[in-house]
Amino acid sequence: MHRPYSLEIAVESIEAALAAVRGGAHRLELCSQLAAGGLTPSTELIRAARKRISLPIFAMIRPREGDFVYSDFEFTTMQRDVEAAKQLGMNGVVLGLLRNDGSVDIERTRHLVELAGPLPVTFHRAFDTLPDLAAALDDVIHTGAARILTSGGAPTALQGLAKIARLVAAAQDRIVIVPGRGINSSNIREVVYRTRACEFHSGLGTRMPYGRNHYDLFEKEVCAMASVLAKRS
């Protein structure tokens, strides 16, 4: 049976979050510094978002920009941030940890997945830096994560459509593959058709450069994407 389509929008402010809600988003990914790929949002931002928004919100857990190989201190920080996200009413968390050899850090990721429980965990685009996505898929499944956010290892989801489609087929019902990066109202229809995915992620950075306060345009873009998914459901 076909699952309903779902649209997740990455936001870094209350204004953008509210615009995404008005546009028809189904879920929000709450971050700071989206221009750096998204970092852990402040406690104040999480509280404000939870107070004003009833949609599911997933909090990014990423202590710094750069690679995804974390020190013991950074890992401890991530544990505290996962616990805080739970206490502050988030509906899920988004994270990704790698080893020095360029593989998924299964053990430490599994620890964070267990710490987050019962909240679901999305393994973010650290996945796309790995050389063998098929092997990495099984590794992430072994962590207990519920989703993988991916552009198929390419700079954009549109460029990685073939690999994303293979990941969706290989994942079956074991984990949800969420195409993301560069998805907007002009291409989401093709991403849906080519990948056969059911959940999609967009920060609209290719449409509206980060730091611009065009929330009316942001809302319209989200609405246009949500409308495409509604017509195909």
List, for residues 38-48, the tens digit of each pLDDT value. 999 999 999 99
In a domain, 191, yes or no: yes
- pLDDT of 96 reads 97
CATH number of the domain at 215, please: 3.20.20.380
Instruction: Look up tokens 């690999």; give the residue.
Output: 163
CA gap 148, 175 in Å, rounded: 7
CA gap 41, 63 in Å, rounded: 9
In a domain, 71, yes or no: yes
CA gap 6, 161 in Å, rounded: 18
Count Cα atoms within 13 angstroms, Cβ side, for 63: 16
In a domain, 87, yes or no: yes
CA gap 1, 127 in Å, rounded: 28
Q: Looking at this protein, which amino acid is placed at residue 100?
A: N
Sheet holding 176-179, edge to edge: 176-179, 147-150, 121-123, 92-95, 57-60, 27-30, 6-11, 199-202
- For the stretch 57-90, pLDDT in tens is 999 999 999 999 999 999 999 999 999 999 999 9
User: 201: pLDDT confidence band, cut at 50, 70 and 90?
Assistant: very high
- pLDDT of 209 reads 55
Compute how many other C-beta atoms are within 10 angstroms of the C-beta atom of residue 3.
11
Are the CB atoms for 100 and 128 separated by under 8 Å? Answer: no
| CA-based nearest residue to 60, from 5, 8, 133, 4 | 8
For 71, the domain range is 6-232
Checking if the pLDDT of 117 tops 80, the result is yes
Q: Number of structural domains, the chain?
A: 1
3-state DSSP assignment of residue 170? helix
CA gap 129, 152 in Å, rounded: 10
Cα 231 to Cα 4, 227, 228: the distances in Å are 11, 6, 5
- For the stretch 125-134, pLDDT in tens is 899 999 999 9
In a domain, 124, yes or no: yes
In a domain, 1, yes or no: no
Whether the CA torsion 144, 100, 40, 6 is positive or negative: it is negative
Contacts of 104 (CB under 8 A, 6+ apart): 97, 98, 123, 127, 130, 136, 139, 140, 143
| CA-based nearest residue to 188, from 201, 177, 169, 175 | 201
Q: Is the pTM of this model over 0.85?
A: yes
Instruction: Look up tokens 């929000």; give the residue.
Output: 28
Are the CB atoms for 13 and 28 separated by under 8 Å? Answer: no
